[in-house]
């Protein structure tokens, strides 16, 4: 059987579930899965937090763009989960839209806030924030970043996103 060539790129706020849902979507569609943060970490041999803390956010953004280009140029299809900031720097959203079908996971901030309060792992943007500060930071990020996310070809709004919903939106996208 021929391998799929469709490239699906998930965008959205940190905590919207891009990494978790992307892996599930790829598995259910039998597509390859790439998480851009994991790809950067594997290529650089460093964790995202250590890149942030040792070299600064600017250095991370340059690496993110470099590896976004590299992954988008892969020949075979895939589901790619980006980082929350990926679409918002270095004209990355334009690049994503030129080379893939972009999908915005538009999850309510309250849901994201709850998820991140219970989530493990080091997220440099939220390091050391209490619950109230985290909520404010998420609201600030949403205000700045939503105009970028809204450029996605498909927008999925709600608390729970399913593979069926993605497939039905993809069908609508290709028919229109
Ligand atoms: N549908 C979901 N329901 C409940 N918790 C979720 C769901 N999707 C993701 N999470 C949790 O939310 C946190 C952020 O998810 P993650 O996939 O890392 O998001 P992102 O990659 O967008 O930052 C993780 O702790 C994850 O387990
Ligand atoms: O929103 C951001 O700027 C970031 C989000 C993270 O990815 P997730 O959205 O997968 O958490 C990661 O790329 C990095 O910590 C920066
Ligand atoms: Mg992620």
* Tens digit of each residue's pLDDT (9 = 90 or more) over 152-176: 999 999 999 999 999 999 999 999 8
Which atom of ligand 2 is closest in space to residue 36's alpha carbon?
Answer: 13
DSSP conformation class of 71? H
**What is 7-171's CATH topology?**
Rossmann fold (3.40.50)
For CA atoms 83, 10, 20, 1, the dihedral sign is negative
* Every domain of the chain and the residues it spans: 7-171
Banded model confidence at residue 1, pLDDT cuts 50, 70, 90: low
Is 3 a residue whose pLDDT tops 70? Answer: no
Q: Is the ipTM of this complex over 0.95?
A: yes
Is 101 a residue whose pLDDT tops 90? Answer: yes
Q: Are 12 and 150 in contact (CB under 8 A)?
A: no
Considering only CA atoms, which residue is closest to atom 16 of ligand 1? 17
How many angstroms from the chain centroid is the CA of residue 40? 13
Is 54 a residue whose pLDDT tops 80? Answer: yes
Q: Is 0.95 surpassed by the pTM of this model?
A: yes
Binding site, residues?
Answer: 15-20, 37, 61, 84, 123, 145
Report CA(57)–ligand 2 centroid distance (Å).
11
């Amino acid at each position: 059987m021929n391998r799929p060539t469709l490239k699906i790129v998930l965008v959205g706020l940190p905590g919207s579930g891009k990494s978790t849902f992307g892996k599930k979507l790829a598995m259910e569609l039998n597509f390859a899965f790439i998480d851009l943060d994991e790809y950067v970490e594997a290529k650089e041999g460093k964790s995202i937090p250590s890149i942030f803390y040792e070299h600064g956010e600017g250095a991370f953004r340059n690496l993110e763009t470099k590896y976004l280009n590299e992954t988008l140029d892969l020949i075979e299809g895939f589901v790619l989960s980006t980082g929350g900031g990926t679409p918002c720097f270095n004209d990355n959203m334009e690049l994503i839209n030129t080379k893939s079908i972009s999908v915005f996971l538009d999850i309510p901030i309250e849901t994201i806030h709850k998820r991140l309060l219970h989530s493990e792992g080091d997220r440099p943007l939220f390091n050391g924030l209490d619950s109230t500060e985290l909520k404010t930071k998420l609201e600030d990020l949403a205000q700045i970043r939503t105009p970028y996310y809204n450029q996605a070809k498909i927008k999925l709004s709600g608390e729970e996103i399913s593979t069926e919903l993605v497939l039905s939106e993809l069908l609508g996208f290709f028919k229109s």
